[in-house]
Amino acid sequence: AQSVTQLGSHVSVSEGALVLLRCNYSSSVPPYLFWYVQYPNQGLQLLLKYTTGATLVKGINGFEAEFKKSETSFHLTKPSAHMSDAAEYFCAVSGWMDSSYKLIFGSGTRLLVRP
Amino acid sequence: DVKVTQSSRYLVKRTGEKVFLECVQDMDHENMFWYRQDPGLGLRLIYFSYDVKMKEKGDIPEGYSVSREKKERFSLILESASTNQTSMYLCASRSGRDYEQYFGPGTRLTVT
């Protein structure tokens, strides 16, 4: 069965600092991996996704993530944090389960950006 | 752009009331989903539908039912609302040819 673990329910960085949000997954089949962002009082918006091909994936707002099969990881990074990046971030894995493709979400990481 | 809309952003209901949450998508997606979101638990799948009049239970279907009479519309029903159903409810849709799900803005339901 697929599962997702996000390390750290809260991450705090200074404006301009590197952002690193960690995600590890468990999957018995080649995974499709996603990062979503949720701004306050809004739904989830796709940041980036990995399906096949290049393991370094670039997304919106300067974020990127690298699929590392040997480490079963898909960590999200951004070189320089902006105040507008403050939000909750969810890692998700998609796979064929119970005769359908489903998304399994991690518990989320809230990113705080200090001025 | 894909648009998923939900009928209410905020809803307050009393214990025992029947509650309807409506979701509409405009991209002719085959698959639609209902999740609930609670702090520290992420998103948990309640029900999903891969076609009109078809439905499948997700991970936490107890206390909920769904209806999909038209392709664009997927309704979540709380037959008799309880306080432990106070939560954020998110609807999503997905094309049968892709893996990405598109989310609505959410309905924050409070049951008192």
Is residue B95 within 8 Å of B89, Cβ to Cβ?
no
Inspect the interface and report whether the beta carbons of A49 and B99 lie closer than 8 Å. yes
Note the pLDDT tens digit of each residue in A54-63: 889 999 999 9
Segment among A5-9, A94-98, B21-25, B54-58 with least mean pLDDT:
A94-98
Distance from CA of A94 to the nearest CA of B (A): 7
Inspect the interface and report whether the beta carbons of A102 and B50 lie closer than 8 Å. no
Tokens of B106: 């959410």
Whether the per-residue pLDDT at A86 is higher than 80: the answer is yes
Whether the per-residue pLDDT at A95 is higher than 80: the answer is no
Rg over alpha carbons for chain B, rounded to the nearest Å, is 13
Note the pLDDT tens digit of each residue in A27-69: 777 788 999 999 988 899 999 999 888 889 999 999 999 999 9
A106 falls in which pLDDT band (50, 70, 90)? very high
Inspect the interface and report whether the beta carbons of B103 and A32 lie closer than 8 Å. no
Inspect the interface and report whether the beta carbons of B56 and A49 lie closer than 8 Å. no
Cα nearest neighbour of A107 on chain B: B42
B39 falls in which pLDDT band (50, 70, 90)? confident
DSSP string, chain B: ---EEES-SEEEE-TT--EEEEEEESS--SEEEEEEEETTTEEEEEEEESSTT--EE-S--TT-EEEEEETTEEEEEESS--GGG-EEEEEEEE-TT----EE---EEEEE-
Q: Enumerate the residues of chain B whose CB falls inside 8 A of the CB of residue A89.
A: none
Segment among A96-100, B15-19, B26-30 with least mean pLDDT:
A96-100
Q: Does B41 touch chain A (CB under 8 A)?
A: yes
CA B106 to chain centre: 9
| The predicted structure's pLDDT at residue A97 | 65
